[in-house]
Structure 1
Amino acid sequence: MIEISPAKVVHVIYQSREGDMADRELHAFIRGLNEDEQAHLVAIAWVGRGVYEADDYAEALATAYRERAVPTDKYLMGMPHLAENLEAGLEAMGIDVSAEEESFLRDH
């Protein structure tokens, strides 16, 4: 279903919580994702915000590709509550990232 590794989504979630010190790193991380990964990240955030239901993920993804007007890193970093939106989106789609969270915390 999603074509971005849960570990990458967890990286964005935790980096976005770090605040201003991590902003530059997070912008670079998101810019370093390929176009497909960026579109999936946006679609997951939209599901988490309630713009789309989990069942409408394919539509959210198509819209993310079609309506990309600004760089994805700037769009996502400007989104209020990005970490919470991504977490809620993953949860709504039934994707468990607890192992990735443990690994991220252990490595950082």
Structure 2
Amino acid sequence: MIELNPDIVRAVIERAREFQAQDSVVFPDEQTIPSDDAEWAMQVVAGHDEDTVLEEGRTLIDDLEPDQQVTLMALMWVGRGDFAPEEWEEALEQGRDLYADNTADILFSTPMVSDYLEEGLAALGYQE
């Protein structure tokens, strides 16, 4: 059982999908991928500080408790296949180990994050 309301996850999914659908959002190609998530996130969200969709998403995520932000990251990893649903506790542990205060930027800069979050919810039994 996740310790986060699935409706909040779905709201994050909606904001991420809307943000990433914009023509102005560009993901670096594989040859220029930075070595860490924070640097990658900065490249993707750079120049979008005035973007209302990104701001709404940041606010939604930043208002969550750190453990809830960790849950979002773990859901993404399960949905992406980095962890199996049976490895949920391990995904949470890794999330705690890697927690940073820029969770929103990391999530919004991950290509297909909305799909991964949906798949993570479904894998853990949370279907609409």
TM-score by length of structure 1 reads: 0.83
The answer for the alignment partner of 1:80 in structure 2 is: 111
The answer for the alignment partner of 1:2 in structure 2 is: 2
> What RMSD over aligned residues (CA atoms) do the two structures have, in Å?
1.3
In structure 2, what is the Cα distance between the partners aligned to 1:17 and 1:27?
A: 14
Q: Which structure has greater helix proportion?
A: 1
Structure 2: where are the runs of 5+ without partners?
Answer: 20-50
In structure 1, what is the Cα distance between the partners aligned to 2:6 and 2:98?
A: 24
Name the % identity: 36
Q: Does 1:93 align with 2:93?
A: no
How far 1:73 sits from its partner (Å)?
1.0
Q: Does 1:24 align with 2:30?
A: no
**Amino acid across the alignment from 2:111:** P
How far 1:85 sits from its partner (Å)?
0.3
Structure 1: where are the runs of 5+ without partners?
Answer: 99-108
Extract structure 1 runs of 4+ deviating beyond 6 A. none
In structure 2, what is the Cα distance between the partners aligned to 1:36 and 1:89?
A: 17
Could you give the per-residue CA deviations for residues 27-66 of structure 1, whole angstroms, max 9, x where no partner exists?
1111111111101010000000000000001000010001
- Structure number, greater radius of gyration: 2
